[in-house]
Structure 1
Amino acid sequence: MLFDRRPKIRGEDFYDRKEELQLFFKGVEAGEGLIIVYGVRRVGKTSLVYVGLSELGIPFIPIDVRGFLVDLSFLSPQILLGVVGEVLKRYESYQGRVEEFLSNVLEYVESLDLGMLKLRIREKRGELPTKVLEHANRWAKKRKTRVVIVLDEAQELRAYPRWRDLLAWSIDTLENVTFVVTGSEVGVLSDFLKLSDPNSPLFGRARLEIKLSKFSREQSIDFLKKGFNEAGIAVKEEETEDTVDKLNGIVGWLSLYGYYRVTYGLTHVEALKRVEEDAAKLLASELEKIVKYSPKRYIAILRAISLGLKSWSEIKHFTEGVAGYIPDNRFNSLLQNLVKYSFIEKTENGEYKPIETLLPKAVEMLRKNTE
């Protein structure tokens, strides 16, 4: 179902992305040790990975890094990789398809608010992550397959440099293990991996990078039409076009709009209003984590860009009118943080614009909450 709210697993439920899928297939089949899938929020990165691995029929272990809460602060390779050993044991008796394997993997975690996940298994103290991975490698080699470990939203590991060492070691040492890392906060993911830093263990390591972009207007319209045809629902063309104009090629929001119309029978106006409200609340909560250290300045910058100001000087002039004088280097740092966390983008001609058309609503919501 194209309008399913969860990440896709089956190819028939996944729209287009043929070029990116073929590239992913080639990377896994060629034995790449590290595959990086990146793009802004809600463009289908997780679905691409799950569908790709399901189509290939390769065992994989999905780990949503955001959801592993250990003492609310401590995160270690031992704990995250503990699930790998447990899953491989479970896989010994596995005879079905990868979709079923994924459901078995998910038995090791429990759902929390905001889509977060929490481990239910205990850490095996003293067992090194390298030993776990060596076991996975032997297991896969014996069965003439690969084991793929998916680190979803891997930028959350940026405070844990040991992960870079572990990834580099795995690439160099393990022939039958592939790490797939995904990231929505593109600049932050880059900070974590440090692929361009000569002092990083990942510098110069072979890897495959796959970028997922937002849908074009034509793709967005086609996606909605196919989703409604699949559900047997007739939708006016002007409603489809209005939705695409408002949701700007973000497949997660397009899917949610279709889901509300198909599942709950909402009208166009009702469904679009609900998606916009949901999106604004989620974006505001995501922004809140970033702007809390300098809320007045950040919100002023975001308001300027939301109002259509594009150049560095225009945005700075507006921001200082609201928040007072800001040194250039500090202003640049604030602006760059918003780019790194994928809330705004810098175009080729040096102008700034929101990545999502719903950002202005989120900014106003955030501004009211902080007043």
Structure 2
Amino acid sequence: MRTLKTNVYILLRVPTVTVGTLSCDPDYFSLNVKTQRKDLYDREEELAFLEKSVELPITVVTGIRRVGKSSVVSVFLSDKPGMLVDLRETGPNPSARELFKRFEKALNSSRIKRLWQFLSERIRGISVGPFGVVFERGVEQSMTLSALFDLFEDYASSERVVFTIALDEVQEARGYKRLQAAIAHSYDYNKHVRFVLTGSQVGLLEDFLGERDPSAYLFGRAVSRVEVKRLSKERSLDFLNKGFYACGVDPPKELEKVVEALDGIVGWLAHYGNYKLKGLSTKEIIKNAAMLELEEVKKLRGKYYLPILQSLAQGSASWSYIFRFVRANVDTSERQFNEALKQLVKYGFVEKNKEGYSIADPVLRLAVSKTWKNFEDW
């Protein structure tokens, strides 16, 4: 085991921990969205699919939360003209100003200075400053997203390239209909612009695409689809082993039990590796993750959601079992129950499978059942 120099880190909802200064290459355990291919474990199949997906204007990337969709798309874009627009926490009805600020940030992260100059020369209210492109206040009133996408088309055509706009967690902005309209416009008229839409909340993503709504802007348009799946147990174990060795640290002996508990969700595996390197116990790491998941559940307003999740805490269950469990704990009608269960599926907290329904995220299952309290360092 490498001898470590000591530094002090303060972590959210966990105690101050004395840890070592480590240099990891590749850095599999980074909690940020990956930007370099070497730091992204596996995913050759998903990246290869994205390379071929330029045949259609829209590619949809799905997968449950923390499975690594954003990192896959970010690495895909790392050597291509394009940008990744983070739409997380915009709220379902973001303002035009909020969306344009998200595009501004994405343009600056892209580091495509020729595009910055191209836009500033053609749009009043867009300038290039010392830190990148600047969308001045009011620019969202003088132009539409459709017009912005048309300018991306003009730029891509002049450069003889395909320009990719990746919208991460696009369903978050589902209430802003002008975004759907702009994508539909670009789909129909722009030959050099492609969209990659990611979403963890599959039901809401389907609503955004208007798959069952003939009046929706994107209804009926062909899309490519790729699912980013959980890692197998073997790949999960390999990920953790390689991650620790890349940091010059011998892997803990408990890895097989950790893999069993975290069920192939690469975000949680990286979370475990990251905080294990910082000196936390396994119980502290799992508790921290469980508290994060409970915070997500608290965002759902309604008295039926938690009882439904509690009914699934021990594994898959049928509709009738869940309904009986919920009705024994809260006063509910079948209609109210069905609507709550439907929303949990839409938001990606619950999956429908052959056995009935189950909690999608293993850490959420631990949080709801409170079994994280049973974890110790193995």
TM-score, normalised on structure 1? 0.81
Identify which of 291, 294, 299 aligns with 1:289. 299
On the 8 A contact 1:253/1:275 being kept in 2, the answer is no
Identify which of 204, 210, 216 aligns with 2:232. 216
Identify which of 12, 15, 19 aligns with 2:45. 19
Identify which of 139, 144, 151 aligns with 2:155. 139
**Pairing 1:240–2:255 present:** yes
On the 8 A contact 1:228/1:235 being kept in 2, the answer is yes
How far apart are 1:322 and its partner, in Å?
0.8
How far apart are 1:364 and its partner, in Å?
6.2
Structural mapping, 1:36-185, within 5 Å: 36-54=60-78, 57-68=79-90, 74-75=95-96, 79=100, 83=104, 87=108, 91-92=113-114, 122-124=137-139, 125-185=141-201
How far apart are 1:10 and its partner, in Å?
1.0
Give the whole-Å Cα distance in 1 for the aligned partners of 2:152 and 2:81: 11
Query: Cα–Cα, structure 1 residues 275 and 136, in superposed 2: closer, same or farther, change >3 Å?
Result: same
Identify which of 234, 238, 257 aligns with 2:272. 257
Show CA shifts across 1:161-203 (max 9, x none).
2222211111111111111111111111111111243322212
Identify which of 302, 307, 310 aligns with 1:300. 307
Secondary structure class of the residue paired with 1:92: helix
**Pairing 1:363–2:378 present:** no
Show CA shifts across 1:68-105 (max 9, x none).
589x95346972576289659962189xxxxxxxxx99
**Pairing 1:2–2:12 present:** no
Identify which of 271, 274, 286 aligns with 1:276. 286
Identify which of 316, 333, 341 aligns with 2:339. 333
Query: Cα–Cα, structure 1 residues 248 and 75, in superposed 2: closer, same or farther, change >3 Å?
Result: farther
On the 8 A contact 2:315/2:358 being kept in 1, the answer is yes
Identify which of 189, 197, 204 aligns with 1:188. 204
**Pairing 1:347–2:376 present:** no
Q: Which moved more, 1:351-360 or 1:35-44?
A: 351-360
2:328: which partner in 1? 321
1:101: which partner in 2? none
Secondary structure class of the residue paired with 1:235: coil
How far apart are 1:283 and its partner, in Å?
1.3
Give the whole-Å Cα distance in 1 for the aligned partners of 2:148 and 2:348: 34
Identity %: 35
Give the letter aligned to residue 2 of structure 1. Y
Q: Which moved more, 1:157-166 or 1:251-260?
A: 157-166
How far apart are 1:122 and its partner, in Å?
2.7
How far apart are 1:287 and its partner, in Å?
1.1
Give the whole-Å Cα distance in 1 for the aligned partners of 2:284 and 2:175: 36
Query: Cα–Cα, structure 1 residues 251 and 82, in superposed 2: closer, same or farther, change >3 Å?
Result: closer
Give the letter aligned to residue 16 of structure 1. D
On the 8 A contact 2:145/2:178 being kept in 1, the answer is no
Q: How large is the Cα RMSD of the aligned pairs?
A: 2.9
2:120: which partner in 1? none
Query: Cα–Cα, structure 1 residues 277 and 89, in superposed 2: closer, same or farther, change >3 Å?
Result: closer
Query: Cα–Cα, structure 1 residues 225 and 315, in superposed 2: closer, same or farther, change >3 Å?
Result: same
Secondary structure class of the residue paired with 1:162: helix
Query: Cα–Cα, structure 1 residues 67 and 333, in superposed 2: closer, same or farther, change >3 Å?
Result: closer
On the 8 A contact 1:68/1:75 being kept in 2, the answer is no
Q: Is there any run of 5+ residues in structure 1 with no aligned partner, and where?
A: 95-103, 110-118, 366-371
On the 8 A contact 2:153/2:163 being kept in 1, the answer is yes
Query: Cα–Cα, structure 1 residues 38 and 309, in superposed 2: closer, same or farther, change >3 Å?
Result: closer
Secondary structure class of the residue paired with 2:312: helix
More helix by share: 1
On the 8 A contact 2:91/2:173 being kept in 1, the answer is no
Give the letter aligned to residue 91 of structure 1. K
Give the letter aligned to residue 363 of structure 1. V
Q: Is there any run of 5+ residues in structure 2 with no aligned partner, and where?
A: 1-26, 117-127, 371-378
Give the whole-Å Cα distance in 1 for the aligned partners of 2:105 and 2:189: 18
Show CA shifts across 1:46-70 (max 9, x none).
110011111xx21222211125589
On the 8 A contact 1:79/1:123 being kept in 2, the answer is no
Secondary structure class of the residue paired with 1:181: strand
Query: Cα–Cα, structure 1 residues 361 and 287, in superposed 2: closer, same or farther, change >3 Å?
Result: same
Give the whole-Å Cα distance in 1 for the aligned partners of 2:159 and 2:185: 22
